Amino acid sequence: MDMTRNLKLLLAVAILIPASATIAAATDAMATTALNVRSGPSSAYGVVDVLTPGEVVDATNCQPNGWCHITHPGPDGWVSSSFLTAAPGAGSPGPDCRFELSLGPGGPQFNIVCGDGPAPGPAPGPTPATNRACFFDGPNFTGQNFCRTVGLYSSLPPISNDRITSVQLHGSAKVRLCEHNNMGPFCRDVVTSVGQLGGFLNNKVSSLRVYTGGLAPKKQVCLFDGPNYTGQYLCYGVGTRTLPASAFNKATSVRVMGGAMARLSKSPTYGIGGALPLSSNVATLPALWNNQTKSLRVQ
């Protein structure tokens, strides 16, 4: 069969194969990197989850703009198809994809195309460990989860806020977890995977930082209304402030962390009447200061 006849036959086959702008049937796909899952088919939509590298999902609908709707054990949503590839053992991407003919130096070639982009290529080799932290709403890395790579996350979305119970670290990642937005105290550094966060942060994390290497200690001071660091508490970072009126006359024990220096004042206006300096934890304040703190300075 000569080249001209071969080319005509290939073109005829391509015409007979139905074309479509989207994938209509589910197909297994694998994330090639830590990949944001969004609530809609563009980067303008909010992040509802993050796929881990190598995670396999069902791609159920791919749009011409390159965004695919996926389902997986977690919040479903939309991801960029640029970071998806065929899962190991995956077959055809679905009956609504099309073949596209291209002419190259080696002669005519077919590519499977779904929407406006080429079909996923062969499955990659083993994915190297990525520095990331994964967060679970159940103990021992169970339940709903999401992952984050190195960076500062000053506020978590509602679906993740106050929902972290266990933390799994990958690569060289470490994480600082904080109780309030914008890394507000109380904060804790997690340097190895933990199956259960302590009482201070279990289901109380609102911001976090994933990092590698070292991170300067977080200077913070926590005031407790019971002895031995029990009962209700308020935590403060570096600065001078007046306690809320509801917290007046409720400081009985104090935790000083990260190399901080605390100075307690009996006056709502710090500096009037002197201050009690503290550079270490105090399980019960002296009688003259117990339940007397109305303002403080953290250095």
Q: What is the pLDDT of residues 179-215, one digit of tens each?
A: 999 999 999 999 999 999 988 899 999 999 999 999 9
> What DSSP state is assigned to residue 14?
H
Asked if residue 42 and residue 20 are part of one domain, the reply reads yes
Q: Residue 131 above 80 pLDDT?
A: yes
User: What CA–CA distance (Å, rounded) separates 213 from 215?
Assistant: 7
- Kindly report the backbone phi and psi dihedral angles of residue 5, in degrees, each rounded to the nearest multiple of 5, phi listed first: -65, -40
Residue 185 lies in a domain: yes
Residue 235 confidence (pLDDT): 94
Asked if residue 225 and residue 205 are part of one domain, the reply reads no
Of 90, 24, 28, 92, the C-alpha closest to 55 is: 28
Greater model confidence, 100 or 178:
178
Greater model confidence, 69 or 86:
69
User: Which of 155, 190, 211 is at the close of a domain?
Assistant: 211
Residue 123 lies in a domain: no
Asked if residue 82 and residue 114 are part of one domain, the reply reads yes
Joined together, the tokens standing for residue 49 give 């989850």
User: Which of 186, 211, 236 is at the close of a domain?
Assistant: 211
Residue 100 lies in a domain: yes
- Provide the residue range defining the domain that includes 241: 220-298
Asked if residue 106 and residue 30 are part of one domain, the reply reads yes
User: Which of 189, 211, 233 is at the close of a domain?
Assistant: 211
Is-contact 209 153, C-beta < 8 A?
yes
CATH of the domain at 293: 2.60.20.10
User: What CA–CA distance (Å, rounded) separates 58 from 40?
Assistant: 16
Structural domain tally of the chain? 3
pLDDT 10s digits, 133-176: 999 999 999 999 989 999 999 999 998 999 999 999 999 999 99
Pairing of strands 142-149, 132-138: antiparallel
Asked if residue 103 and residue 13 are part of one domain, the reply reads yes
Residue 231 lies in a domain: yes
Q: What is the mean pLDDT of residues 259-281?
A: 94
Give the chain's mean pLDDT. 81
User: What CA–CA distance (Å, rounded) separates 123 from 3?
Assistant: 32
Q: Residue 2 above 70 pLDDT?
A: no
Residue 291 lies in a domain: yes
Confidence class for position 23, pLDDT limits 50, 70, 90: very low
Greater model confidence, 45 or 102:
45
Residue 45 lies in a domain: yes
Confidence class for position 107, pLDDT limits 50, 70, 90: very low
Residue 78 lies in a domain: yes
Q: What is the mean pLDDT of residues 21-32?
A: 63
User: What CA–CA distance (Å, rounded) separates 131 from 133?
Assistant: 7
CB atoms under 10 Å from CB of 137, counted, come to 17
Confidence class for position 114, pLDDT limits 50, 70, 90: low
Residue 226 confidence (pLDDT): 95
